[in-house]
Amino acid sequence: MKNLYTLLFLLLLLACGNKEKLTETIQEIKINSNQIKISKEQFESEKMEFGELATQDFNTIINVNGMIDVPPENRASVSTFIAGYVTNIPLLIGDKVKKGELIASLKNIEFVEIQQQYVETSVQLKFLKNEYDRQKTLFDEKITSQRKYLEAESVYKVSLATYNGLRKKLQMLNIDPVAVAQGKITSTINLYAPINGYVTKVNVNIGSFVSSASELIEIINTDHIHLELNVFEKDITKIKKNQKIHFKIPESSNKTYEAQVHLVGTSINKNKTIKVHGHINNEEKNNFISGMFVEAEIICLPKKEIALPRAAILKNKNKSIILVLSSEKENTYIFDKVSIDKGSENENYTQINNYKAIEGRKILTKGAFIQ
């Protein structure tokens, strides 16, 4: 019985010893999982390098949305000064037109009445002019009274004003006053393209009645296109003329285009944004269409930040880490795996937000890897 107790005691003691060794092994693995060892021979052969935190310039990037647009003088809404019924509309959306080309015809009895009034006034004006000249001569010779002279002058000048007004109205309706004076009266007026460009809207058809407030056709000239970007007021003070813009047409492709800030707006709209006008580089080589939605980055003035070379930063699952020298033995470097919080990036460097913990320490900046 005594031997049995002795045996049980020895087994218990052995089990405790194994547990301690297991704990030590687990602890060693845990410690080693946060470190990496690199032999000095490997360090030299793979041309690894040490470095430290350094100050680098990083551009401030402002992300904005906007659209492709054209200047106001390159966009024309065609309407009529006097209402009428559409009798001719020869164009379709996408048609190219030249300035002065016929784009629509309208008919209205009011067009006839204006021409009739013009002819009548023209005839009356000749008589009233002769009467005015006669009364002026008689008045100068003291043969007639001043009242008759002034009366003739008044009637003549009122008629002259009416004549000139009707003549101008005919010209605005694209009706030739000379032809009307010769008795060539028409019930139809023609509308002509005010600019070169492409038809982007056709809002009427044959028989449509259009008022003076109606837009019949829209024409856009795409010889010059630009960006109209919406910048929030908190960012507007950072925007300056000639700053670079990188933009994409997300619904079209992932290709990146370049532009420059040309004008910065001076008023805030109801959406709390300010308009920024950008000129597109090599715009003639791209088939942009007015109204396209764009996503853009405005590259502002650089700001100095603490950074490391991008080659020093490794991906470990969902974390970004760097290797910081912990200790050095005769033939080995031991590095700590340190998680970092990345900020801005440029072509060669990455900003480190939590740099305080690694200030003054050696960092593996070239040839870094994770085992």
Give residue 196's pLDDT.
97
Lowest pLDDT segment from 22-26, 44-48, 301-305, 353-357 = 22-26
Give residue 96's pLDDT.
96
Please give the span between the terminal C-alpha atoms of the chain, in angstroms, as a whole number.
55
pLDDT tens per residue across span 160-181:
999 999 999 999 999 999 999 9
Structure token pair of residue 228: 């109209």
Are the beta carbons of 219 and 198 closer than 8 angstroms?
Answer: yes
| pLDDT at 258 exceeding the cut of 70 | yes
Confidence of residue 4 (pLDDT cuts 50, 70, 90): very low
C-alpha to C-alpha distance for 209 and 22, rounded to whole angstroms: 94
C-alpha to C-alpha distance for 210 and 89, rounded to whole angstroms: 13
Are the beta carbons of 276 and 264 closer than 8 angstroms?
Answer: yes
pLDDT tens per residue across span 94-117:
999 999 999 999 999 999 999 999
Number of C-alpha atoms within 13 angstroms, CB side, residue 296? Answer: 32
pLDDT tens per residue across span 262-298:
999 999 998 899 999 999 998 877 889 999 999 999 9
Fold topology of 77-106+190-219: OB fold (Dihydrolipoamide Acetyltransferase, E2P) (2.40.50)
| pLDDT at 122 exceeding the cut of 80 | yes
Give domain 61-73+221-303's CATH architecture. Beta Barrel (2.40)
**How confident is the model over 353-357, as a mean pLDDT?**
90
Provide the percentage of residues in the chain whose pLDDT is more than 90.
64
C-alpha to C-alpha distance for 95 and 232, rounded to whole angstroms: 38
C-alpha to C-alpha distance for 25 and 16, rounded to whole angstroms: 14
Residue count of the chain, please give it: 371
| Predicted TM-score (pTM) of this structure | 0.68
**How confident is the model over 190-196, as a mean pLDDT?**
97
Confidence of residue 26 (pLDDT cuts 50, 70, 90): very low
Nearest Cα neighbor of 76 from 251, 193, 212 is 193
- Judge if 61-73+221-303 and 77-106+190-219 fold alike in CATH terms: no
So where are the chain's domains? 61-73+221-303, 77-106+190-219, 109-186
